[in-house]
Amino acid sequence: MRTSAVPSVLFVCVHNAGRSQMAAAFLTHLGSDQVQVRSAGSAPADTVNTAVVEAMAEVGIDISAETPKVLTTEAVQSSDVVITMGCGDACPYFPGKRYLDWQLEDPAGQGVAAVRPIRDEIEHRIRGLLAELGVEATE
């Protein structure tokens, strides 16, 4: 059940400074205008993790201007798919929404070398999500 003409995906993690930012950036980049993308955190940080920004720049995606956003009930309600990444019970649940929980290592406090495999796993999962949504990835 879609809430709009294109599928809408919300990525949620605690700080909205690492995993959810990378996932949103990959989905925006690969899904072009075929997917509406949001990300948020249950306890957002002040800034996006610098190692995450650097790791994404290595694959040609600039997220340096992104800022962590607070999770709102409205963001969940207006999304077709909600993908959580370690936010636990802080994520609101609404019947009829599709929820996925991606178990991924938290990049907080880690250097870019440790972030790269997390980034690559997120990209792999995003490509699979696009296929599930029937959206062809743009390169």
Summarised one tens digit per residue, pLDDT across range 86-100 is: 766 666 677 888 999
Q: Residues near 136 by Cβ (< 8 Å), separated by ≥ 6?
A: 34, 130
Distance of alpha carbon 118 from alpha carbon 13, whole angstroms: 14
Q: Tell me: pLDDT of 14 over 70.
A: yes
- Residue 33: pLDDT band by 50, 70, 90 thresholds? confident
Residue 1 pLDDT > 50: no
Phi first, then psi, for residue 135 (nearest 5°) are -110, 130
With tokens 């948020």, the residue in question is 40
Q: What is the pLDDT of residue 4?
A: 55
Entry pTM: 0.92
> pLDDT at position 28, please?
97
Contact 63, 52 (CB under 8 A): yes
Mean pLDDT score of the chain = 91
